[in-house]
């Protein structure tokens, strides 16, 4: 099984499809929340880096990399 917590929670949420328990349902809801919050965090980080780029003239992806953020990883920047 993957080390990614969201993947593990999705796996746990689907282990008892025939008779779902509150635990199974909670894992699915939690995985959804983690994905949503991660997307919101990455968007905020991108906005921060783009603002830094506009104000300071430094490339946004470089700023993100220096901070250890992977918010541009899917954009190819």
CA distance 42 to 44: 5
- Dump pLDDT digits (tens) for 36-49: 999 999 999 999 99
What Å distances lie between residue 21 and 11, 15, 24, 28, 69, CA to CA?
14, 10, 5, 11, 36
Give the model's pLDDT for residue 38.
92
Angle at CA of residue 73, ends 60 and 36, nearest 5°: 100
Tokens at residue 44, please?
């905020």
- Dump pLDDT digits (tens) for 14-71: 876 666 677 777 888 999 999 999 999 999 999 999 999 999 999 999 999 999 999 8
The residue ranges of every structural domain in the chain are: 5-67
Give the model's pLDDT for residue 13.
82
Give the model's pLDDT for residue 53.
92
pTM: predicted TM-score of the whole model, two decimal places: 0.72
């Amino acid at each position: 099984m993957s080390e990614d917590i969201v993947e593990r929670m999705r796996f746990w949420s689907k282990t008892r499809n025939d008779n779902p328990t509150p635990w199974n349902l909670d894992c699915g809801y939690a995985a959804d929340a983690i994905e949503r919050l991660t997307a919101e965090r990455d968007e905020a980080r991108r906005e921060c880096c783009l603002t830094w780029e506009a104000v300071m003239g430094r490339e946004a992806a470089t700023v993100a990399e220096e901070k250890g953020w992977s918010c541009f990883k899917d954009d190819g920047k």
